[in-house]
Amino acid sequence: MRDGSDLADLRRAIDRWGVELGFQQIGVAGVTLHQAEQQLAQWLAAGYHGEMGWMAHHGIRRSRPAALLPGTLRVLSARFDYLPPAAAPAAAVLRNRRLGYISRYALGRDYHKVVRRRLQQLADRIAARIGPFGYRVFTDSAPVLEKPLAAAAGLGWVGKHSNLLQRTGSWFFLGEIFVDLPLPIDQPVSDHCGRCRACIDICPTAAIVAPYVVDARRCISYLTIELAGPIPEPLRPLMGNRIYGCDDCQLICPWNRSAHPTAEPDFTPRHQLDASELVALFEWDEATFRQRTAGSPIHRIGHLRWLRNIAVALGNAPPGDGAIIAALQRRLNHPSALLQEHLRWALARQQRSLPAPPPG
């Protein structure tokens, strides 16, 4: 099963199986990523990865698939749409500062499990056709440069916001199967961002420091998900009501006007997280947080970061709100100094418009 005609037949079958398993597109890339490797080195040297030390720990294995999995000849790159059709309109949630905004990808079930399971099923179908072969499945679960690989496989181009983008938008997950099969390689598509800089201009914290370059230390997704310590105070007012991730650069992108909602039920919003009151979310105790985020990507940030993020959003809500002030005050006995510092900041913001107490 290694000659050209058999491999071409297999490649066509992979496309067909991919659609049957819910993927919107499967592409095949080689294993050479010289330009992406250089760009990664420059990005790391600039310190743009912040506290994500794991970005630098794996050396060339991140940019050289055969170093990560010896024998790898090709990478199957898969696209899985996730935009939930039933979610509350993002713009409306962002305008209402009493609601918490959660990135659209995290409203349903954890994509790692959903996409990985489908990729494994695809690998199983390949094995059923050709017999045992060398492979490994990845879904944002190992040092893999998934966006450059997907671009090389023809799934789109890397946009100025650094997300993979195509003519039907960017609301999709990526996953990979490294294989030892010399499958025909797909051709990359050209960049269609042109002179547009909407994503750069809309970024609330100016994290897109140049076209195609994001300083993660300023990115709200990094601040609310990856950062374990205090959120830098100058950035807090810029975060608005975004409590887990940020979609502004995708929401503004003209190509996302053509985005297709997902048909995958696992990505349907759960527990009304697409438009919940901040005070209600802030009242969750740890057991409630664990129960309501079980099987969700939100679960991994833990209850403390959840409260920290919401405290910042409450500080950015319209000031002088008695319910918000009371909710913040009820948490002041929390044992975490990290949370207490954010609570005090939020209370100062909420109370700045209250009338001064009468003298004496």
296-330 residues labelled b (16+ CB within 10 A) or e (exposed):
bbbbebebbbbbbbbbbbbbbbeeebeebbebbee
Whether the CA torsion 120, 122, 124, 126 is positive or negative: it is negative
Mention every residue, 6+ apart, whose C-beta is less than 8 A from residue 60.
Answer: 37, 67
DSSP 3-state assignment of 99?
A: strand
Residue 355: which pLDDT band, with cuts at 50, 70 and 90? low
CB atoms within 10 A of CB 248: 21
Note the pLDDT tens digit of each residue in 211-224. 999 999 999 999 99
Q: In a 3-state reduction of DSSP, which class is residue 2? A: coil
Q: Would the pLDDT of 24 be above 80?
A: yes
- Between residues 359 and 78, which one has the greater pLDDT? 78
- Could you tell me the two tokens for 7? 């491999």
What pLDDT, on the 0 to 100 scale, is given for residue 164? 98
Q: Determine the average pLDDT of the residues in 307-336.
A: 97
Mean pLDDT, rounded, for 41-70: 90
Q: What is the mean pLDDT of residues 248-265?
A: 96
Six-digit token string for 146:
């998934």
Compute CA distances 37 → 44, 63, 64, 185, 222, whole Å: 11, 5, 8, 20, 22
Q: Which are the contacts of 19, defined by CB distance < 8 A and separation ≥ 6?
A: none
Pairwise CA distance, residues 301 & 289, whole Å: 11
Residue 7 has pLDDT above 80, yes or no: yes
| Strand runs labelled E in the chain | 25-29, 74-81, 99-102, 135-138, 157-158, 164-165, 172-179, 208-210, 213-214, 242-244, 276-277
Active-site pick, 15, 140, 180, 191? 140
- Mean pLDDT (whole number) for 333-351: 97
Sign of the torsion formed by the C-alpha atoms of 108, 111, 117 and 123: positive
Angstrom distance (rounded) from CA 3 to CA 315:
63
Average pLDDT over residues 231-245: 98
High-pLDDT (> 90) share of the chain, %: 91
The 8-class DSSP code of residue 332 comes to T
- Give the pLDDT band of residue 244 (cuts 50, 70, 90): very high
Q: How confident is the model at residue 191 (pLDDT cuts 50, 70, 90)?
A: very high
Q: How many CB atoms lie within 10 A of CB 48?
A: 20
140 is annotated as an active-site residue: yes
**pLDDT averaged over every residue in the chain:** 95
